[in-house]
Amino acid sequence: MLMRILPEIGHFALIIALLMAVVQAVLPLAGAATRRPLWMAYAQPMATGQFVFVLLAYGCLTASYLMDDFSVVNVANNANSLLPWYYKLSAVWGNHEGSVLLWSLMLAGWGCVAAWWSRHLPRDMLARVLGVLGLISAGFLLFMLLTSNPFERHLLDIPADGADLNPLLQDIGLIVHPPMLYMGYVGFSVVFAFAIAALLGGRLDAAWTRWARPWTNAAWAFLTVGIALGSWWAYYELGWGGWWFWDPVENASLLPWLTGTALMHSLAVTEKRGSFKSWTVLLAIATFSLSLMGTFLVRSGVLTSVHAFANDPSRGLFILVLLAVTVTLSLVVFALRAPRVSHKVGFNWLSRDALLLINNGLLITMTMTVLLGTLYPLILDSLGLGKISVGPPYFNTLFVPLTVITCLFMGLGPAARWKTTSPGELLRRLWLAGLAALVLGALIPLVYRGEWNLWVTLGLSAALWIVLSLVRDLFDKLLHRRSVWAGLRALSLAYWGMVLGHLGVAVTIIGATVVSHYAVERNVRMSPDTRVEVAGYQFTLTELTDRRGPNYLADAAVIEVQRGDSQRRFLMQPEKRLYLATGMPMTQVALRPGLFRDLYVAMGEDLGDGSWAMRIQYKPFVRWLWLGGLLMALGAVLAVADKRYRQVRPARLAQEGKA
Amino acid sequence: MTRRLLLLLLPVMFLGLALFFYVRLSEDPTGRDSALMARDFPAFEATTLKDDQRRVDQSLLTGEVTLVNVWGEWCPACRQEMPQLLSLADRGIRLVGINYRDTREKGQAFLDEFGDPFAINIFDPEGELGFELGVIGAPETFLVDAEGVIRYHHKGYVSPEDVQGRLLPEVAKWR
Amino acid sequence: MALIRLISLTVLICLALPAWSAGIELREFDDPVTEQRYRDLTASMRCPLCENQAIDDSDAPISADMRDRVYQLLNAGQSDTEIIHHMVQRFGDYVLYNPRLERRTYLLWGLPVGLLMVTGLVVALIVRARRHASTKALTSDEQARLKALIERKEAP
């Protein structure tokens, strides 16, 4: 009996969660404004309660999926009784309604963690932070209940079986990519809540930045991993070996990533030096606003993208209102409450302050470029100036130089001191790294390919410059220590976080440069015993077979691969699948991953005479793209673990002492 | 005070962006204008659907305002718009069909089943003429004036409302 | 966020497609330069039917036709500009992923460059102003609080 009303329980739990979110928003914010401790005290229990009820709703929907309850519209449209159980779990968020539920769950989860983790914060600050989070939660829960209810039922004509999950989504990449991305988007809501709370409470001090930094790093790490996973998924699942398409949906995730990166660096200046306070707060607001805007662009049908959700104008309108209210209100609060006179902290042309300022300037330029390129066709169209497209060639033309310029300053930043650095000293410390980067960057394409290439040299030199200047900095830091070990131990986790983060950028740039210029692709006709050579590897088709999977039929090929004259051989087995429920054909590529190269075989179509068209690709260094992303995320996490963020108690004591 | 006013420009600017998004919500981002508007109907040479010996070319489309409809037996929306095309032909409008990526047998069977509003059908099995016209699928409908210049383009299914609201006024305009 | 719809619902309703043909094409090229030109051209043209895909990674029939045409024109000895013009004549500027520089795209190409210069100018102005600002990092009030913080931390 209970099992049969699970969707109704879930629906009811969402309503209760909405009510709790409203209480969590209204009472603590009003309490903080009127100094009523009792009202403020509602914040924590409501945040916890909201999370529990959204979790309950999420559990109910998951159960409906696992039990093949096709009376639930959402289940009937996105699952099938033949679907393996793990894809049933991930199918929950493989659609619009379910993904909004996942989004809400994460929002409530972040709020709950914030409520308990930050319980040492001054009471009014905590009340405001949770209040703002409650407002956002209430908006999303209302959105779900009014326009995207995942628990809607088929009242009549309950289908005997479901329509099945889109085959492209039946994959490990899709199991992990959206949750990571959402964790990032949603995580920035906590930073946003801290920013608004600080503005409302007039508490834009060093303590504020210290509270906001770990949350920023955590959200940024999730977003980075999410974007990297999305790129990896597109690489092997779409069947063409591309890894970044400058698609509007990818751009929508890149925008908050860029401003989030700027925010991390700006927070560092604000914490260490007390300058740029207003700018930092504005970045925190902008980052979350761009996350919300991305959600709007992806789900409203305003943009054409291969990744967009099936759209519905009423949903688009609701998110637009949510976006407009959130952003406008927060910008008004910013305009009215931003510090009146900012304290002018002095620094010189060559100083870490100035370099971080340049970093922010460049990142904002990149953000605006992506935004411009994404929206420009829409603007022209609305002005009646015709339809144009803005795609990869445009973005690459602008992004490659911008990235190289950014790298130039990235090499200088860690080596420079706060306030002022003498040019002579910097030159003495870094000339060797700079020279080596240039020479190596120029030589590597010559040695590797026997042909010089300007773009490869630029990319490699930029990456090597980052790495070598980091190495030099480390060397200088260890030079004056008694032993290397003592020196290494003396360095803070925050420093190691920076090193890993920058190293990650360099690794990604190396991957992007090499794979863009040195990938090899060949389309070939293969029949049994055909042998083809690509980039020094011999591919021999040994067998063509049929296979039957749980919910698909497949033509499969077995290809034996051998490198040069080496005796080591391995098999690659690409497939061409036909999914039974949807009738959709899908290419399942065979991948042989490696740190320095991937081999990639995709099966085309039957050419009739017992031979098949195949696409064989050799992708050097492609793994470095995502490896770099992981390093960046790891760096951000290491920095969070730094001990100065664990000492929250004294801050509170000081606040109370002052009060 | 001026600084606060300047900062208040931020929310105002954002509201402008939001308003732009609101306008975009009601517009179809996939729509695409034909690149051939106000240009001569492309030169071509082909046979007709009925007669593989008869050669026709672009002169077929001069002398009278003509609606050129791109269709194929494999296209469900083409079936649904046949009644509308028949009603247009009944009003004395000249229709020329382009049988697009189809076979003679299937195309003929289609006309036998759903009626034939076309004065003549150009046979385009490889989609070559379609390519010259920038056709990306079927159905698509072009209005060609008496001088053989393309004046109007309708992508996709022609509904009874489209006949009244768009095609008839355009035909009247160019006659 | 990656829910792929290869063809939008609107297209499915209004426009039908001839039989599906997924494509890995076997093409012979005279020389590696032509092959690279073919790859670059097909990667920078947008499929006019799909949501947002280049013709080189789209399964739509029109993309296959366009690839064929690019290949034919290349073999006929046409230049990249001529081939691009050929496509724009038929399908409009919409098929170019690399928008041409013309009046309506001045802002698109110019704004990022302008922004970069403005950014440089703003940074320069800020640093110039800050160079002579007080070098004292904290106000006396803040220093007192910092001191209190440190003492508290060290106490127990």
Quick check: is B3 in a domain? no
Question: Which chains does A contact via 3+ CB–CB distances below 8 A?
Answer: B, C
Residue A644 near chain C (CB below 8 Å):
no
Retrieve residue A347's tokens: 């620094």
Cα-Cα-Cα-Cα dihedral sign, residues A331, A337, A338, A341:
positive
Quick check: is A4 in a domain? yes
Cis amide prior to A248 (ω within 30 degrees):
no
CA distance B128 to B142: 16
Note the pLDDT of residue A306: 63
Of A501-510, A643-652, B104-113, the range with the lowest mean pLDDT is A643-652
Count how many residues are written for chain A.
659
Note the pLDDT of residue A646: 63
User: Do A389 and C149 make contact, defined as CB atoms within 8 angstroms?
Assistant: no
Residue where the block lists tokens 């879930």: A10
User: Do C123 and A373 make contact, defined as CB atoms within 8 angstroms?
Assistant: no
Inter-CA distances, A42 with A21, A24, A124, A260, Å: 11, 7, 12, 31
- Contacts of A449-455 spanning 24+ positions with Cβ under 8 A: A449/A518, A453/A517, A455/A400, A455/A513, A455/A516, A455/A517
CA distance C80 to C87: 11
Note the pLDDT of residue C140: 60
Domains of chain B: total: 1
Quick check: is A276 in a domain? no
CA distance A262 to A252: 16
Quick check: is B80 in a domain? yes
The predicted-structure confidence for A13-71, as pLDDT tens digits, reads as follows 999 999 999 999 999 999 999 999 999 999 999 999 999 999 999 999 999 999 999 99
- Of A395, A392, A141, A412, the C-alpha closest to A258 is A395
The predicted-structure confidence for A359-381, as pLDDT tens digits, reads as follows 999 999 999 999 999 999 999 99
Quick check: is B126 in a domain? yes
Average pLDDT (A640-651) is 64
Would you give per-residue pLDDT tens digits along chain B (175 residues)? 677 888 899 999 999 999 999 988 877 666 567 888 889 999 999 999 999 999 999 999 999 999 999 999 999 999 999 999 999 999 999 999 999 999 999 999 999 999 999 999 999 999 999 999 999 888 999 999 999 999 999 988 999 999 999 999 999 999 8
Average pLDDT (A463-489) is 86
Among residues A151, A170, A189, which one ends one of the domains?
A170
CA distance B158 to C14: 9
User: Do C108 and A376 make contact, defined as CB atoms within 8 angstroms?
Assistant: yes
Among residues A139, A170, A201, which one ends one of the domains?
A170
Quick check: is A503 in a domain? no
Amino acid, res. C85? H
One CATH from 3.40.50.720, 3.20.20.140, 3.30.43.10, 1.10.8.640 for C9-95: 1.10.8.640
Note the pLDDT of residue C136: 46
Residue where the block lists tokens 């007390």: A274
CA distance A465 to A440: 10
CA dihedral A429, A435, A441, A442 (to 10 degrees): 180
Question: Which chains does C contact via 3+ CB–CB distances below 8 A?
Answer: A, B
CA distance C78 to C55: 19
Contact at 8 Å (CB) between B127 and B44? no
Quick check: is B97 in a domain? yes
Note the pLDDT of residue A653: 43
Note the pLDDT of residue A417: 87
Give the CATH number of the domain where residue B112 resides.
3.40.30.10
Note the pLDDT of residue A157: 79
Mean pLDDT of chain A: 89
User: Do B35 and C51 make contact, defined as CB atoms within 8 angstroms?
Assistant: no
- Of B39, B60, B57, B64, the C-alpha closest to B150 is B39
Among the partner-chain residues A368, A391, A604, the one whose CB lies closest to the CB of C23 is A604
Note the pLDDT of residue C130: 84
Interface of C with B (CB under 8 A): 8, 10-11, 13-19, 48-49, 51, 60-62, 65, 69, 88-94
Note the pLDDT of residue A308: 61
Residue A154 has pLDDT above 70, yes or no: yes
The predicted-structure confidence for A599-618, as pLDDT tens digits, reads as follows 999 888 888 888 899 999 99
The predicted-structure confidence for A166-199, as pLDDT tens digits, reads as follows 777 788 887 889 899 999 999 999 999 999 999 9
**Boundaries of every domain in chain C:** 9-95, 103-154
Q: What pairing do the DSSP bridges indicate for beta strands B94-100 and B120-124?
A: parallel
Q: How many of the other CB atoms lie within 10 Å of CB of A222?
A: 24
Among residues A142, A170, A198, which one ends one of the domains?
A170
Quick check: is B16 in a domain? no
Q: What pairing do the DSSP bridges indicate for beta strands A569-572 and A552-563?
A: antiparallel
Retrieve residue C75's tokens: 């073999």
Domain that holds residue A544: 522-621
Quick check: is B47 in a domain? yes
* Phi, psi (rounded to 5 degrees) for B133: -85, -5
Quick check: is A516 in a domain? no
Name the 3-class secondary structure at B43.
Answer: coil
Residue C147, burial from CB neighbour count under 10 angstroms (0-12, 13-18, 19+): exposed
Closest chain C C-alpha to A516 CA, distance in angstroms: 12
Average pLDDT (C100-117) is 94
State the DSSP H helix or E strand holding residue B163, giving kind and residue range, or none if neither: none
ipTM for the assembly:
0.88
Domain that holds residue B102: 30-174
pLDDT band at C151 (very low <50, low <70, confident <90, very high): low
CA distance A252 to A184: 13
Q: A277 versus A313: which is more confidently predicted?
A: A277
Residue C153 has pLDDT above 70, yes or no: no
For A6, how many CA atoms within 13 A lie in the half-sphere containing its CB? 20
Interface of B with C (CB under 8 A): 28, 30, 32-36, 72, 74-78, 100-101, 127, 131-134, 136-140, 155-157
Domains of chain A: total: 2
Residue where the block lists tokens 């104008």: A313
Inter-CA distances, B93 with A95, A479, B96, B172, Å: 47, 90, 10, 10
CA distance A556 to A573: 7
The pTM assigned to this predicted structure is 0.90
Quick check: is B10 in a domain? no
Rg value, chain B, Cα: 21
Average pLDDT (C33-39) is 93
User: Do B155 and C88 make contact, defined as CB atoms within 8 angstroms?
Assistant: no
Among the partner-chain residues C51, C61, C90, the one whose CB lies closest to the CB of B35 is C90
Quick check: is B99 in a domain? yes
CA distance B15 to B31: 26
For A151, how many CA atoms within 13 A lie in the half-sphere containing its CB? 25
Note the pLDDT of residue A3: 76
Closest chain A C-alpha to B158 CA, distance in angstroms: 22
Residue where the block lists tokens 């109704």: A8
Residue C12 has pLDDT above 70, yes or no: no
Average pLDDT (A290-310) is 79
- Contacts of A144-149 spanning 24+ positions with Cβ under 8 A: A144/A14, A144/A97, A144/A100, A144/A101, A144/A104, A145/A14, A145/A15, A145/A18, A146/A318, A147/A312, A147/A314, A147/A315, A147/A318, A148/A96, A148/A97, A148/A100, A148/A315, A149/A11, A149/A97
Beta-carbon contacts of A324 under 8 Å, excluding residues fewer than 6 positions away, are: B14, B15, B18
Residue where the block lists tokens 């001839």: C18
Name the 3-class secondary structure at A461.
Answer: helix
- Of A21, A87, A89, A32, the C-alpha closest to A54 is A21
Residues in A closer than 8 angstroms to B25, CB to CB, are: 300-302, 313, 316-317, 320
Residues in A closer than 8 angstroms to C123, CB to CB, are: 354, 357-358, 361
Residue A658 has pLDDT above 60, yes or no: no
